[in-house]
Amino acid sequence: DAKTTQPPSMDCAEGRAANLPCNHSTISGNEYVYWYRQIHSQGPQYIIHGLKNNETNEMASLIITEDRKSSTLILPHATLRDTAVYYCIVRVANTGTASKLTFGTGTRLQVTL
Amino acid sequence: NAGVMQNPRHLVRRRGQEARLRCSPMKGHSHVYWYRQLPEEGLKFMVYLQKENIIDESGMPKERFSAEFPKEGPSILRIQQVVRGDSAAYFCASSSLGPSSYNEQFFGPGTRLTVL
């Protein structure tokens, strides 16, 4: 699976959009980009995933660059409950060992008043 | 629809004892994954199981650790002769699809193992 690079930490004011970047310059054509988050020692929570098109769900939006070498997770209106470590993961699809998630160090997002 | 359930939530063992961690996947999910998070570290994959089969155990320590997912009942992660270095949070995840790009994994709350 391709390696990802994320900033170690970010701050965001409550109510503002939080934009979390991720570099995955070695991503291959059959790899998807997944985002998970872990709120203070809880189990990780799935947020969103995408291949090459931008994606949006009730939690967030995922913007993937045209060359797919980087992506941005957007939380449109961050709240204090969004304070967490956010993990960007790329995974190969449709292979026997594709199912495991390889977590990096992630970005620690601190949402402040 | 209940989520992934893990029990116990907290487990204390003395060195040399056995630890058994249980995971009940979400309803309809037949794929289970175990991850370990050591204090102040990231999550590390341990093992991936389908019903009655171990698919990928590349992250499992070679000794003392074993996992199963029987046809009936929860998945069990078993640690024999625990040592202090086994103290960690153990998370279970489940999914409903096989190896595919839409294989979102849903995590349980974890079991925090403390070895005295």
- Over residues B61-80, the mean pLDDT reads 95
From chain B, the residues in CB contact with A94 under 8 A are: 99-101
Residue of A49, A99, A102 lying closest to B99 (CB–CB): A99
In whole angstroms, give the CA distance from residue B6 to residue A112: 32
Whether B106 and B94 have beta carbons less than 8 Å apart is answered as: yes
The answer to whether residue A95 scores a pLDDT higher than 70 is no
Q: Residue B101 has what pLDDT?
A: 45
Using CA atoms of A109, A111, B3, B4 in order, give the dihedral in degrees to the nearest 10: 30
Query: What residues 38-57 of chain A have any CB closer than 8 A to a CB of chain B?
Result: 38, 41-46, 49, 51
Q: Residue A16 has what pLDDT?
A: 96
Residue of A42, A51, A99 lying closest to B103 (CB–CB): A99
The answer to whether residue A97 scores a pLDDT higher than 70 is no
Q: Residue B1 has what pLDDT?
A: 53
Per residue in B33-61, pLDDT (tens digit) is: 999 999 888 899 999 998 889 999 999 99
Q: Do B56 and A99 touch (CB under 8 A)?
A: yes
- pLDDT exceeding 90 applies to what percent of chain B? 74
Across chain A, what does the average pLDDT equal?
91
